[in-house]
Amino acid sequence: MTTSKRWIPLTFKVTLLTLLLVWTLIPIIWMVLSSFKPNSVITANTPRIFFTPTLEHYASLFSSGNSLWPYLLNSLFIAGVSTLIAVVLGCMAGFGLSRIRIRGKQHLAFWIISTRMAPIAAVIVPLYLLFRYLYLLDTHAGLIVAYLSFNLPFAIWLMTAFFDDLPPDLEEAAMIDGATKFQAFRYVVLPLMTPGLVTTAILCFIFAWNDYAFAQTFSGPSTQTIPIAAAQLLTQTGIDWGKLLAIGTIVVCPMAIAGLLVKRWLVQGLTLGAVK
């Protein structure tokens, strides 16, 4: 009796999860699969699962006149630097917000995260005007600043939550052990913050890595990122599906692999404080 009672919710759960998996994974699997198909197979009327794989799309991406390399490097550089700055500043600001006693702290914290709530479309024109005056259009710095404007409040907010979960007793114990405030931070707080730092870094990196709107608006010939390269394949004369799917795979895979590698920390980070 009890087994059948448990059995029904279990089937329900499994069905739901299967549906969800199919829903999220099929497009990605199809994209990765198709990126290895010859053009004739991609555009065939009946979808085909078995075919002779080819690397021609990847090869042409990196060899043809318009190579993907500069886009890839731009993406890595811009996303990397903006993530690094967001994490470093977010870590310090989050520590301060979590530890220092100031009046109206929660209002300050809310104000910071509220800047993240504006949609990208709302800030894109003002930012464009600002960047034009500051000669930041078509520069790496411009895009880094643009991503920071969204990632920094997010990083501060996330790191504050992480620090709130770390008992101040530990730093205090370190200070009584003879550590300066900075030493307590360096030797005790920081090592314990790894899950928080990794979670924040990955989420910030994904935002910058995946962004299209900012890159489309602020970048120029020398600073275009991978999503722009993908968009350029959608031309009036036709769509180069093979290359497009290959770029898509290149965009998605590193993030997916990185996510898997740090899954333990990511889960720990995102559920921190939720289960206690």
Partner 1 sequence: MATLQLNDIVKDFGGTQVIKGVDLEVKDREFVVFVGPSGCGKSTLMRMIAGLESATAGDIKVDGKRINEVGPAERGLAMVFQSYALYPHMTVEDNMGFSLRLAKVKKAERREKVLAAARILQLEPLLDRKPRALSGGQRQRVAIGRAIVRNPSIFLFDEPLSNLDAALRVQMRIELARLHEELDATMIYVTHDQIEAMTMADKIVVLQDGEVEQIGSPMELYHHPCNRFVAGFIGSPKMNFLDVEVREASGEGINVALPGGDCRVPVMGDGVSAGDTLTLGIRPEHLELDEQGPLEGKIVVIERLGGATSLYLEHGGSEWILVADGDVALHVHDQVRFSFAPTCAHLFKGDGEALTHLHRHPLVDIDRQENRAKPA
Task: Look at residues 257, 212, 233 and name the one whose alpha carbon lies nearest to residue 57.
Answer: 233
Q: Is 197 in the site for partner 1 (CB under 8 A)?
A: no
Q: Find the shortest distance in angstroms from Cβ 105 to partner 1.
A: 12
Which position has the token pair 């920390």?
Answer: 265
Minimum CB distance to partner 1 smaller for 175 or for 213: 175
How many Å apart are CA 147 and CA 90, to the nearest integer? 14
Q: Is 173 in the site for partner 1 (CB under 8 A)?
A: yes
Task: List CB contacts of 133: < 8 A, sequence separation 6 or more.
Answer: none
Among 180, 220, 253, 259, binds partner 1 (CB under 8 A): 180
DSSP string, 150-192: HHHHHHHHHHHHHHHHS-THHHHHHHHTT--HHHHIIIIIHHH
Nearer to partner 1, 115 or 183 (CB): 183
Would you count residue 233 as binding partner 1 (CB under 8 A)? no
Nearer to partner 1 by Cβ, of 189 and 215: the residue is: 189
d(CA 29, CA 19): 15
CA distances from 121 to 84, 112, 132, 138, 148 (A): 25, 19, 17, 19, 16
- Smallest gap from Cβ 182 to partner 1, in A, equals 11
130 vs 192 by CB, closer to partner 1 = 192
Q: Is there binding between residue 164 and partner 1 (CB under 8 A)?
A: no
Residues in binding contact with partner 1, number by CB under 8 A: 17
Query: Contact with partner 1 (CB under 8 A): which of 91, 146, 159, 174?
Result: 174
Name the segment binding partner 1 (CB under 8 A); options: 174-182, 200-208, 223-231, 238-246: 174-182
By CB under 8 A, tell whether 119 contacts partner 1: no
Of 226, 177, 275, nearest in space to 77 by CA: 226
Distance of CA 249 to the CA centre of its chain: 15
Binding site for partner 1 (CB under 8 A): 167, 169-170, 172-180, 183, 187-188, 191-192
